[in-house]
Amino acid sequence: MLVLANFDVNPQYLDLSALSHTGFSVYSRFIDLYSGKKPSQHDARIVIQGYQFYWLTAT
């Protein structure tokens, strides 16, 4: 599981290449265990909106 949280009002981005040593890759597709939705992924980055959090698992 990968837990992400944005404690700012502005959107933040997570570069998935930074996770390469964790077993995830830029090609991983995720689902949020809390909401059941897929996070927005663009250009090998996940967008985290203001005050949003994710509990992610790779699908």
Domains of the chain and any CATH numbers: 2-58 (2.60.40)
Both tokens of residue 12?
Answer: 């933040």
What is the per-residue pLDDT across 4-56, written as a single tens digit (0 to 9) for each?
999 999 999 999 888 888 888 788 889 999 999 999 888 889 999 999 999 99
Q: Residue 14 has what pLDDT? A: 93
Terminal Cα distance for the chain, rounded = 11
pLDDT given at position 42? 85
- For residue 26, give the 3-state DSSP assignment: coil
pTM above 0.75, yes or no: yes
The per-residue pLDDT for 43 is: 85
- Report pLDDT for 21: 83
Q: What is the pLDDT of residue 24?
A: 82
Beta-bridged to residue 58, according to DSSP, are: 30
